[in-house]
Amino acid sequence: MTLKRNLFLAGAIVVGSAGLAQAEMVATAINDLNVRAGPGPQYPSVGIATRGSQTVLDGCIEGSRWCRVDVNGVRGWVYAEYLQVDHGGSQVIVEQHQSDLGVPVVTYESTASVAPADPAPGDELLGPVGSVEAITPPETVTTYVQTNPGQTVRLGGDVVVGASIPGDVTFQEIPDYQYRYVRINDQPVLVDPGTRRIVYVYN
């Protein structure tokens, strides 16, 4: 059974020889994030990796931020900056330490007419993920957001806690509440107006 599984994995992705010699690499999701069908925000989401969930890291595309993972039986692609692994007793971000960690190199061949894997220069994107204090909004705020949907804003990138929102996006105020909200790609999110970072995502 194990042999068949290994043969399947070897056929499904192209990995470097160094990666074949390694045991499975386990990474932890540092935020809730979409697992996508291909290495880019334009590919559809095939699942969600919740914050703190364990994923098996198959490898990353060379020169790209995208890595292929298996989480809860779902295989797909996520940003390397949202994954961390144990390295010598310390938790490190995969994107910043791919070579140190010996992360296998994988390739991806699209079988459909899809846009390039990385967004084109000039496309408006969510900013890099930063550290924020996670919140749980009160029910009154949730009700207000649901009854005042507003218009959606289209932005590239994954809508996750900690991502920063471009300066030209306006937020809606919530009565008697310190945070604002906005709909990004049809997902309502709560935002710290001071840092413009997402503090909560309504799934």
Q: Could you tell me the two tokens for 18?
A: 């160094």
Segment among 48-52, 132-136, 138-142, 189-193 with least mean pLDDT:
132-136
Long-range CB pairs of 20-25 (<8 Å, 24+ gap) are 20/104, 22/102, 22/104, 24/56, 24/57, 25/56, 25/57, 25/85, 25/101, 25/103, 25/104
pTM, whole model, 2 decimals? 0.47
pLDDT recorded at residue 153: 87
Task: Map out the domains of the chain as residue ranges.
Answer: 2-106, 139-201
Tens digits of residue pLDDT in 23-55: 578 899 888 888 888 887 777 888 888 888 899
Per-residue pLDDT band for 137 (boundaries 50, 70, 90) equals very high
Looking at every residue in the chain, the average pLDDT score rounds to 76
Q: What is the mean pLDDT of residues 66-94?
A: 85
CA dihedral 77, 200, 125, 158 (to 10 degrees): 10
Which range has the worst mean pLDDT, 44-48, 95-99, 118-122? Answer: 118-122
Task: Compare 200 and 44 and report the one with higher pLDDT.
Answer: 200
User: CATH: 3.40.50.1370, 2.30.30.280, 2.30.30.40, 3.30.465.10. Which one for 2-106?
Assistant: 2.30.30.40
pLDDT exceeds cutoff 70 at 172? yes
DSSP string covering the chain:
-HHHHHHHHHHHS---HHHHTSPPEEEEESS-EEEESSSSTTSPEEEEE-TT-EEEEEEEETTSSEEEEEETTEEEEEEGGGEEEEETTEEEETGGGHHHHTPPEE----SS----SSPPTT--B---B---------HHHHHHHHH----EE--BS---TTBB--TT---EE-TT-S-EEEEETTEEEEEETTTTEEEEE--
Backbone angles phi, psi at 18, to 5 degrees: -65, -35
